[in-house]
Amino acid sequence: MNKKLKNIIAFTACVFLGSMFFHADAQTIYNLTPVPYQVIQKEGVYRFDGDPKVRYVAAPPGNMLSESYILKVDKRGVTIISFDQAGAFYANQTLMQLIEDNTIPYCEIHDYPRFPYRGVHFDVSRHFRSIDFLKKQIDAMAMFKMNRMHLHLTDAAGWRLQIDAYPKLTEFAAWRPQHTWKEWWAGNRHYALKGEPGAYGGYYTKDEIRDLVQYAHAHYIEVIPEIEMPGHSEEVLAAYPELTCSGKPYTQGEFCVGNDETFKFLETVLDEVMELFPSEYIHIGGDEANKEHWKKCPKCQLRMQDEGLKDVDELQSYMIKRIARYVESKGRKVIGWDEILDGGLAEGAAVMSWRGTEGGIEAMEMGHDVIMTPGRYCYLDHAQDAPFKEPESIGGYLPLDSVYVYEPVEPKMPKDKLHHMLGVQANLWTEHVVTDAHAEYMYWPRTIAIAETGWSQPHKKDLQDFRRRALLAIEDLRAKGYETFDMAAEYGERKLAQTGLDHKAKGCKVFYNRPIQEWYQAAGEATFTDGVIGGWTYSDNRWQGFLSDIDVTIDLGEVQLVNYVGGTFMQLIGPGVFMPSKVDILVSKDGENFTLVTTVWNDVPVTAADLLFKDFSTICDCKARYVRYHAYRSTMRGFLFLDEVVVN
């Protein structure tokens, strides 16, 4: 710590001679995270014994934004000017980062948030977290000026909130026979009674929630509850099967929208939820609903007929709109995942865009508020380092750098609708995250990157400087007892993905004998010969994905000697990515008459759980202009992903 102070004084001595102020990105000196709007560095430091002298001044009305502040440090001490209490609170968070060895450098900081919503999502359904754990995360969130805690309280894996009107939600739907989600999911997915031997689960009492909400409020964090509907509700429907289309438990995960008792249940539950959570928004889920049951349900079909609904998408929209009107009648607003756009969006509803950003942009264009949380940048359940060294995750690769570079405001967004872009959120789904320590490891430091995106101006962001500051931030978190990812031991991206590859087929024309799958086009027809090697995840725009065989022919331009042909595939069985069953490699001089060089058979079991890579290649000695590479889709009928066809 003394070293840091010496560095500040040394910098002051060599730079500020003859100058009173230095307008610069002084956060590189002060290590402030997230980066403030403006830092004016001054010569000298304020020294104090005990606590520093801090004077709070209320800004005149209209002169400052909500959550903004001015922090001044001089020989008299610290002055904090703020429009509201939240601004003063965030000024104190900055002040804590400035203090070192009872000294604070003279400076003047003007700061305010870029977005009003800066959130973190907690999936407490798959694996239950204690109130103490959530409070601990609130402490860390506040350090980095985050202000929304999104609690995913209900899902198939367990109901986590006391509801007086429906006691079976916590006596039965909150418990399961297996401890881990994976064991439960692989079994019969049934539930257990509270107190049953071996039952795993838990729920929050109303007093616990009141305590949590109060604690969060003291840290200027709003707690937003999520009650899933119409899907992801298996636990509710096991406890109250009369709310299903069939009337039987364990038959579906979606409420029967044609049943008036469904709305009585949801409205009663939401009444108790809104009594506990004073948040502006109530999250109602709305994602991944399987609507097949509704197509066969007499009650749902009658509802569609009575309401003039043309399909089950509009039936879901009917439900969302009806619930939204009810919530709004209580003075609140609803927010849901971007699937609530299907069939038409309820007036006043906000959208949380996770399947990319398109849903959010569509909602903005319609005049709805939006929170951006695209899975490619904000889903922290992916591995943050080389998967072979990381704890279990859902798969994929989302390092700190990839989280940090996300820019929420895209050029294609309508300029006159940008006020509807409320902010960003970090999401952690916990199917594979069993322990509290594992959860913290996944959150930090990637959540800090999202915090800076939400607070700081985009021109202030700098990846290399952020990495330096993030290292210091996680040292501080670790000293406070947090389990964080070790940035100092980071392995990084797949080595070949960093360097690329030069070979005979690089830049050559590729003819596709099967169409490219629209979801994973990568670089289109240039993908297999661009010299760019895929990284740890199939979603990095380097791997090209197919739900069919991959069958391509490469034109080398002229007949030449071919000694090697090969390509690398990946397997990750969680999202359904498999090795090909075999690969045929063929060559031709004229592009019409092909000779089979070899067939390379797969020897990787389809049950192998880890992320695996395999080269399907051959060494040969032939002359050819055309090389055909035909990979046969796995018997598991999942995706094939290939990054490059290498010819040498």
Nearest alpha carbon to residue 387 among 296, 493, 472: 493
One-letter amino acid of 522: A
Nearest alpha carbon to residue 382 among 575, 624, 531, 214: 575
Catalytic residues: 155, 232, 288
For 202-262, give the secondary structure using H, E and C. CCECHHHHHHHHHHHHHCCCEEEEEEEECCCCHHHHHHCHHHCCCCCCCCCCCCCCCCHHH
Question: Homologous superfamily of 117-248+256-274+376-489 in CATH?
Answer: Glycosidases (3.20.20.80)
Residue 639: pLDDT over 70? yes
Give the Cα separation of 160 and 122 in Å (integer). 12
Residue 17: pLDDT over 50? no
Q: What's the chain's length in residues?
A: 648
Give the Cα separation of 122 and 129 in Å (integer). 9
The DSSP bridge partners found for residue 615 are 568
**What pLDDT does 16 receive?**
30
Cβ neighbours for 587, distance < 8 A, ≥ 6 positions apart: 562, 565, 594, 595, 597, 620, 622, 624, 626, 627, 628
Strand order in the sheet with 21-23: 21-23, 38-47, 103-111, 69-74, 77-82, 54-58
Residue 481: pLDDT over 60? yes
Q: Where are the beta strands (DSSP E) in 54-194?
A: 54-58, 69-74, 77-82, 103-111, 117-123, 148-152, 154-155, 158-159, 175-176
Residue 627: pLDDT over 70? yes
For the chain, where do the domains classified as CATH 3.30.379.10 start and end? 2-111
Give the Cα separation of 449 and 34 in Å (integer). 8
Give the Cα separation of 520 and 30 in Å (integer). 43
**What pLDDT does 20 receive?**
29
| DSSP single-letter state for residue 444 | T
pLDDT digits 0-9 by tens, 380-399: 999 999 999 999 999 899 99
Share of the chain above pLDDT 70, in %: 96
Q: At what angle do helices 131-143 and 446-455 cross, to 10 degrees?
A: 50
Averaged pLDDT score across all residues of the chain: 94
CA quadruple 181, 185, 186, 188: dihedral, nearest 10:
130
Q: Where are the beta strands (DSSP E) in 452-536?
A: 509-512
Average pLDDT over residues 34-55: 95
Give the DSSP letter string of 523-584: TGGGGGGSSPPP-S-TTSSSSEEESS-EEEEEEEEEEEEEEEEEEEEEEBTTTTB---SEEE
Question: What architecture is the 496-647 domain classified under in CATH?
Answer: Sandwich (2.60)
pTM (2 d.p.): 0.92
Residue 508: pLDDT over 50? yes
For the chain, where do the domains classified as CATH 3.20.20.80 start and end? 117-248+256-274+376-489
Burial class (CB in 10 A: 0-12, 13-18, 19+), 107: buried
| φ and ψ of 30, to 5 deg | -90, -10
Residue 27: pLDDT over 60? no
pLDDT digits 0-9 by tens, 556-591: 999 999 999 999 999 999 889 999 999 999 999 999
Distances (CA, A) of 578 to 528, 538, 616: 18, 11, 13
Query: What is the CATH topology of the domain spanning 2-111?
Result: Chitobiase; domain 2 (3.30.379)
Cβ–Cβ under 8 Å, residues 563 and 505: no
Share of the chain above pLDDT 90, in %: 92
Nearest alpha carbon to residue 630 among 571, 577, 582: 582
pLDDT digits 0-9 by tens, 275-320: 999 999 999 999 999 999 999 999 999 999 999 999 999 999 999 9
Nearest alpha carbon to residue 530 among 541, 520, 517, 518: 541
For the chain, where do the domains classified as CATH 2.60.120.260 start and end? 496-647
**What pLDDT does 211 receive?**
98
Give the Cα separation of 55 and 104 in Å (integer). 15
Residue 79: pLDDT over 60? yes
Residue 482: pLDDT over 80? yes
Give the Cα separation of 424 and 319 in Å (integer). 26
